[in-house]
Structure 1
Amino acid sequence: MSDGDLQDRRVEAVRDWTLFIEQGDAAARVRPEILSSWGRAREADVSADVSAAPMADESETAAVWCDSPLQQAVESVEDDLRRTAEDGDLVIAVTDARTRILWTYGGRVMRRKAESVHFVAGGRWDDESVGTNALDLANRLDVASMVFSAEHYARIVQNWVCWAAPLHDPVSGKQLGVVDLSTTWDRTHPIGLATARVMAKLIEAAIPDSAHHPSALEETDDPGLVMTLLGTVETRLDGQRLLLSRRQSEVLALLALHPEGLSLEQLHAMVYGDAAITFSTLKAEVSHLRQALGGQLSSRPYRLLMPAATDVQHVLTLIRGGHVRAAVDAYGGDLFPGSDSPALNELADYVAVALREALLADPDPDAVLRYSEELAPYDREVVEVCLRRLAAHPAHPAVPLLKARLVVAGH
């Protein structure tokens, strides 16, 4: 791209940003992910004139970095990262899964620019803290992302172009954070996004076998059993995936959800209901499970002898705490789809209704959009409630999308 083309692109970006900031409107050419992020920043009352990113506690950031599997990986490839930064006069940053910067290295010019806006270890670069940026988009969308010039919400980085790519644990697949490459807008190059992806692969390849690292587990700080039950069913023990039959997964899910333990009769009723299945059949399933769990399952009552966490408990905890958007993000779909366990079916209805009622009480636009697009496309009431809440903000970027959802739901 020529210097003239870049300058024209920057002028357009500034014009589009100004229109949004001053009038709450947006040009059609603004990318949907940028517009959505601008909306989140506005909803969070982020000032476009913020002087620097807020800083997390220094000691806490250092502790997170020391505990992260990314530390050893970055140290292993640090020479390559530093060389890339120096050759391209870039600043390279690695974040955690909350878009808090854990490590940076910059070329001579970009290092000074980065320090002035707190693009340093401890800097919080989620878009609800400092506005739209590539780190947040890559983390939030789990795809490589670029933000150019005034696509950034905050003026302090509108002279930048940033490319970021997500980082995943190669064993568990868990998203650990992102790697970001940033420089001045006039140094924009088509290879920038590809370079970010290469850097991400380089770091991921250097991550040690982290199956037993706590960060490879979902929603628990201790090694143990982690079950995904919403949308898809998967079980991991200390990070290692367990291959279980459907019935064994149902039995294990009920035990994980009842840490106090269940009698043989209780467990049988929860799994089979009134079906003519013998107790011996259930005992055989439990025996297989006990073997798979290394003996960590007691009897009389049946009870797990290890920490256990499920995404179901996580979603319900978020709902109780009023964190509706996070609850929708964590809700992967119907609980144990296709199960004929009466207890799991009852719980599935409970969680689905609880999430819907939480949205009716607090119709966060982003949460409602995701709910209506991915989880309940024909639930008109939730969309209508959200639109009524936004009646005083007709220029909100979610309004046209919500209206479109109503049209789709009506067909």
Structure 2
Amino acid sequence: MRDRRHDAVRAWTAFVEDGGQNGVQHGVRPEILSSWQRSAPAIDLAVSQAPLADESDTHAYWQGSPLQVAVGAVEEELRRTAEDGDLVLAVTDPQTRILWTYGGRVMRRKAESVNFVASGRWDDGSVGTNALDLAGRLDQPAMVFSAEHYAPIVHNWVCWAAPVHDPVTGERLGVIDLSTTWDRSHPIGLATARMMARLIETALPDTRQHPRLSPMAYDGHGLSLTLLGAAEARLDGQRLLLNRRQTEILALLALRPEGLSLEQLHAQLYGDQAVSTSTLKAEVSHLRSALGGALSSRPYRLMMPVSVDVEVVVERIRGGDVLGAVAAYGGDLLPGTNSPALTELADFVAVAVREALLAQPDPDAVIGYSEIAPYDTEILEVCLARLGVSPHPAKALLKGRLAAARR
């Protein structure tokens, strides 16, 4: 990690000393170099703080906004993440103005010293290269490490950020950023930022205008999709015979009711794999036939009521019904999938269920979970510790499961 920091400082120094004239910097990622080139004419290297937007305007924008509602709903999880990792978290608007922050003890003080606070403006035209700006500008998760930041005031930081989108319109509402000191950089930082963005998206107020079933109220009509454990799709109660790719496409479309363009669907399904768009179009064509034509194009969108088991699990966790969440959680989401978007979602759901159990270890829920994850001893230990010496009919089963897991 120290070598990486040394390389970043050396590249930044070369860029600054060259006056930004050298367009090729060895070892510098293209998005970082582009941001440096934007930052150089706008930012004084002696800048000590980010500029502040009008606080009353910021407050008025935040109050009652969909982002505030969503962050309020998942604030406990966000705060726990910040405290456990001694991170500072920030949520911004689309112009990279910070709307909300929360920090661990050490990082909170560091953040305040550079105006990494509500009303702080963190676009690269205001404070130079940073992950919040890149995630918003590129509309994808971004990391900026140490001297990859343009302003020296944050050379001791590492930041991970991911965009937050409206699930209905696809509009980017802002970004969420996680920051700490460079020496605490961790490979899962970017995945955690993605997970936090997904968590906020699931908590946004539901403004969907096209048919979609409440996740708790599937009545046998429309599309019912099971993704957790054994995958299965049913249309009006009849099972659909789909191959693996078609099931993955159906999952991606079911989880994005506003639809996906061909390019978006290709990226979420295949990632960097060298698969032609014609191959994807052929899979979509087969899927459209299986759905009786109820799959529109431009964008690709399901034209029917949809219920997905993932949403049931998330809804029950959000409502504090851990036992119900575990009952709906059939296991890992599409195990073995190569889809980047579905892999990310699988991680999110697995972590969410586990964290809910750790926070609220209902014995019956823990027993149900242990059937799916029999070697997760921590959950069993936490549950038994919570029960203490008090009698409970589930204790014998819990102890038996724990003994079996330790063999």
TM-score calculated relative to the size of structure 1? 0.50
Deviation string 1:258-280 (CA, Å, 9 cap, x unpaired) is xxxxxxxxxxxxxxxxxxxxxxx
Query: Aligned partners of 2:168, 2:32: CA distance in 1, in Å?
Result: 32
Q: 1:48 deviation in Å? A: 1.9
Structure 1: give runs of 5+ residues left out of the alignment.
1-5, 213-239, 243-411
Count of residues in Structure 1 that have an aligned counterpart in Structure 2: 209
Q: 1:135 deviation in Å? A: 0.1
Q: 1:47 deviation in Å? A: 1.1
Q: 1:27 deviation in Å? A: 2.2
Aligned alpha-carbon RMSD (Å): 1.6
Out of 29, 32, 39, which is 1:31 matched to? 29
Structure 2 residue 178 is matched with structure 1 residue 151: no
Structure 2: give runs of 5+ residues left out of the alignment.
210-256, 260-407
Query: Aligned partners of 1:38, 1:182: CA distance in 2, in Å?
Result: 20
Kept in 2, the 8 Å contact 1:124–1:130? The answer is: yes
Query: Aligned partners of 1:49, 1:206: CA distance in 2, in Å?
Result: 40
Which amino acid in the other structure matches residue 80 of structure 2? Answer: R
Deviation string 1:310-367 (CA, Å, 9 cap, x unpaired) is xxxxxxxxxxxxxxxxxxxxxxxxxxxxxxxxxxxxxxxxxxxxxxxxxxxxxxxxxx
Match in the other structure for 1:380:
none
Deviation string 1:195-252 (CA, Å, 9 cap, x unpaired) is 000000000000011358xxxxxxxxxxxxxxxxxxxxxxxxxxx989xxxxxxxxxx
Match in the other structure for 2:204:
207
Which amino acid in the other structure matches residue 38 of structure 2? Answer: R
Which amino acid in the other structure matches residue 29 of structure 2? Answer: R
Match in the other structure for 1:15:
10
Aligned ranges for residues 168-317 of structure 1 at < 5 Å? 168-210=165-207
Query: Aligned partners of 1:198, 1:48: CA distance in 2, in Å?
Result: 33
Flag the 1:197–1:241 CA change in 2: closer, same or farther, 3 A. closer
Query: Aligned partners of 1:157, 1:241: CA distance in 2, in Å?
Result: 38
Match in the other structure for 2:158:
161
- Runs of 4+ residues over 3 Å off in structure 1: none
Out of 100, 113, 117, which is 2:114 matched to? 117
Query: Aligned partners of 1:210, 1:60: CA distance in 2, in Å?
Result: 25
Identity of aligned residues (%): 70
Which amino acid in the other structure matches residue 9 of structure 2? Answer: V
Q: 1:28 deviation in Å? A: 2.3
Kept in 1, the 8 Å contact 2:88–2:103? The answer is: yes
Q: 1:67 deviation in Å? A: 4.2
Q: 1:133 deviation in Å? A: 0.1
Query: Aligned partners of 2:4, 2:150: CA distance in 1, in Å?
Result: 16
Structure 2 residue 77 is matched with structure 1 residue 80: yes
Deviation string 1:98-137 (CA, Å, 9 cap, x unpaired) is 0000000000000000000000000000000000000000
Match in the other structure for 1:71:
68
Which amino acid in the other structure matches residue 67 of structure 2? Answer: L
Kept in 2, the 8 Å contact 1:95–1:178? The answer is: yes
Q: 1:29 deviation in Å? A: 1.2
TM-score calculated relative to the size of structure 2? 0.50
1:143 aligned counterpart, secondary structure: coil
Match in the other structure for 1:49:
46
